[in-house]
Amino acid sequence: MVTSSHEASHRIFQDRPELLAPVFRILGVPLPAPATVDVLTPDTTEIRPLERRVDSVLRIQPVSGATGGLLLAIEAQGRRDKTKPTSWAYYLAHLRAKYDCPVLLLVACQDQATARWAAGPFHLGPEGWHTALAVHPLVLGPENVPVIKDAGEAARDLALAAFSAMTHGRDPSVAAILEALATALGSADGASAEYFTELLEIGLGDSPARTIWRKLMSVGTYFPGRGTIVEESYLKGIEEGREEGRTEERSQMVLRVLDKRGIPASSALRERIAACTDADVLDRWLDRAFTAAAAEDIFAQD
C-alpha cells in the first residue's frame, strides 16, 4: 500500500538530487563528479496487461560526456515482502535492456529489521545454482544513515538532514534530530524551508515524531518575517485562533499540492475544495492529494 511517508522516502531523491552525493558516500559507491541527474519514467510495464512500476528512476551522467553513467532505481520499503525480490530483478533487467546502461537498486527503509532483510542477497535461481540470478540491493536504513542532532551540520546539508529525520523517525532521540533540522531551516531560503517543512509533515507519517514536528513548526519562530505559506498558516492560527483561517489555508494547500504535481483540477473541483470548512475532511483530502492519480481521487472515499 502506497502511503504518504512511502512517497516522501523516494521523492526526495527526485526533488533534491544533491542528496545522492552523501548517500553514495555512505554506501561506498563511486558517483561521477560532476554529474547531471535526470528523472526517468518509473513505468516498466510491457505490452502484456501487467503493470510494474519502480518508485523512482534517476539517470546519473558525467557532465563531461565521459563514460561511467548509470541508472538508479529507488524503492521505499516499509516491510518484508517475499514478492519484492522477483519484482526488483525484473526492474533491473528491464531498465538495463531499455536504456542499455548499468543499473543499481537502492532501497530506503525506516526500520532496521526491514533494512537487514532488504540487503539480501536474493538468489532467484534453482537450488545449487545461485549464480544464475541474484539481486544485491543497496540499502539505506537506521543503521547506516547518520543521526544529525547538530543544527550547524543540518544547515550544511538540509537534504541529508531531512532524510535522516525521516529514517530515524522511530528513534528515541528523534526530538533532538527534529529540533536541529527546525533550527537549520530558520537560516535557509524560503523555498527550501517550505519544501522541507512539508516533506517532514508527510514523511513522518502517522507517528509521534510527526506530532513533535508539528509542534516545533507551530511556534513560528523558525521563519520570522519570511512571509512563506508555512509562516502565514501557523501565525494566522496562533495569533487569531480562527477556524475559518485554518480551514482556508488547508484548502489552499490541497490545491497547491495538486498543482505542484501537475494534476489538472476543474473549476468545479476547486470551488468544492475552497468551500469546505471541515478541517478533518480537508486533512484527508490533503493526504490523498500527494498520491492521487487524478484530482477527483481525493474525494473517492467520501
What digits encode the pLDDT tens for the residues 207-241?
888 888 888 876 544 444 444 445 555 455 445 44
Confidence of residue 1 (pLDDT cuts 50, 70, 90): very low
User: What pairs with residue 63 in β-bridges?
Assistant: none
Whole-prediction pTM value? 0.63
63-102 pLDDT, tens per residue?
Answer: 766 666 888 888 889 889 998 999 999 999 998 988 888 9
Residue showing cell 501537475: 262
Confidence of residue 133 (pLDDT cuts 50, 70, 90): confident
**Which range among 44-53, 99-108, 115-124, 194-203 shows the weakest confidence by mean pLDDT?**
44-53
| CA 149 from centroid of its chain's CA atoms | 21
Tell me what pLDDT residue 208 has.
87
243 or 235, which is more confident? 243
Reply yes or no on whether the pLDDT at 2 is more than 90.
no
Segment 238-253 mean pLDDT: 66
**3-state SS of the chain?**
CCCHHHHHHHHHHHHCHHHHHHHHHHHCCCCCCCEEEEEECCECCCCCCCCCECCEEEEEEECCCCCCCEEEEEEEECCCCCCHHHHHHHHHHHHHHHHCCCEEEEEEECCHHHHHHHCCCEECCCCCCCCCCEECCEEECCCCCCCCCCHHHHHHCHHHHHHHHHHCCCCCCHHHHHHHHHHHHCCCCHHHHHHHHHHHHHHCCCCHHHHHHHHHHHCCCCCCCCCCHHHHHHHHHHHHCCHHHHHHHHHHHHHHHHHHCCCCCCHHHHHHHHHCCCHHHHHHHHHHHCCCCCHHHHHCCC
Tell me what pLDDT residue 173 has.
84
In the chain, pLDDT over 70 holds for what percent of residues? 80
Reply yes or no on whether the pLDDT at 27 is more than 50.
yes
Tell me what pLDDT residue 188 has.
83
**Which range among 35-39, 225-229, 253-257 shows the weakest confidence by mean pLDDT?**
225-229
Segment 141-148 mean pLDDT: 92
Q: State the average pLDDT for the chain.
A: 80
Q: Which CA distances in Å does 28 have to 57, 138, 167, 242?
A: 20, 10, 19, 51
Residue showing cell 548509470: 70
Evaluate whether 185 touches 196 at the Cβ level (below 8 Å). yes
Q: Radius of gyration over alpha carbons of the chain, in Å? A: 21
- What residues have CB less than 8 Å from 71, skipping those under 6 apart? 40, 57, 58, 59, 60, 95, 96, 99, 101, 102, 103, 104
Tell me what pLDDT residue 237 has.
47
Can you give the residue ranges of every domain in the chain?
Answer: 4-140, 191-299
